[in-house]
Amino acid sequence: MQPIPYLFFPGTCAEAMRFYATAFGSEEPEILAVGTMPPEVRSQMPPMKDETVMHAAVKVGAGWIYASDDMGDGVPAMAGCNVSVAFPTVEEAQRVFAVLAEGGEVRMPLEPTFFAPVFGTLTDRFGTRWMIMADEPEAA
């Protein structure tokens, strides 16, 4: 069993998941939009735009990130949760951190710590909070 973070977006899910696929060097995300639902299912749902994302998935290393557009009256921004990703090398952690930071807010720059060769935190342009680190042991 492996936990999978499930993110909600205010109508920007498809854009965010494509961005994450690029950032993590993954294949195109799987995206199920309302407009592709069978008519008998769609008729039982509240009115939504065809491009509203019911479910999306992007592969990140050996894990996944799932997401959808918010179907309710608005989900509060992520405040008490972060998505943490550990990379095998400092270089890969630096590359992904830089991509995710574009248009976002760096809360703690990626730098060496007592517990990892590099660690940093940021909120990306979609409001997702990230903790990025490298697992690579420091050179002796």
pLDDT at 136: 72
Q: What is the pTM of this model?
A: 0.87
How many folded domains does the chain comprise?
2
Which residue has better confidence, 42 or 79? 42
Closest to 51 in 3D by CA, of 7, 13, 9: 13
Give the phi and the psi of residue 57 in degrees, each rounded to 5: -145, 135
**At 75, is the pLDDT very low, low, confident or very high (cuts 50, 70, 90)?**
low
Q: Please identify, among 43, 70, 97, the residue that sits at the C-terminal boundary of a domain.
A: 70
Answer yes or no: do 29 and 58 share one domain: yes
Answer yes or no: do 64 and 90 share one domain: no
Answer yes or no: do 82 and 140 share one domain: yes
Q: Please identify, among 41, 70, 99, the residue that sits at the C-terminal boundary of a domain.
A: 70
pLDDT, mean of residues 20-46: 92
Q: Please identify, among 51, 70, 89, the residue that sits at the C-terminal boundary of a domain.
A: 70
pLDDT, mean of residues 60-64: 93
Q: Residues of the chain with pLDDT > 70: what percent?
A: 93
Q: Which domain holds residue 43?
A: 1-70
Quickly count: other Cβ atoms within 10 Å of residue 69's Cβ.
Answer: 23
Answer yes or no: do 2 and 42 share one domain: yes
Q: Residues of the chain with pLDDT > 90: what percent?
A: 74
Answer yes or no: do 90 and 58 share one domain: no
Q: Rounded distance, CA 94 to CA 133, Å?
A: 9
**83-87: strand order across its sheet:** 83-87, 129-134, 119-123, 105-111
pLDDT digits (tens, 9 = 90+) for 91-140: 999 999 999 999 999 999 999 999 999 999 999 999 999 999 999 765 54
Q: Is 116 helix (H, G, I), strand (E, B) or coil?
A: coil
pLDDT at 140: 46
Give the CA angle between residues 20, 16, 95 to the nearest 5°: 30
- The CATH code of the domain that includes 28 is 3.10.180.10
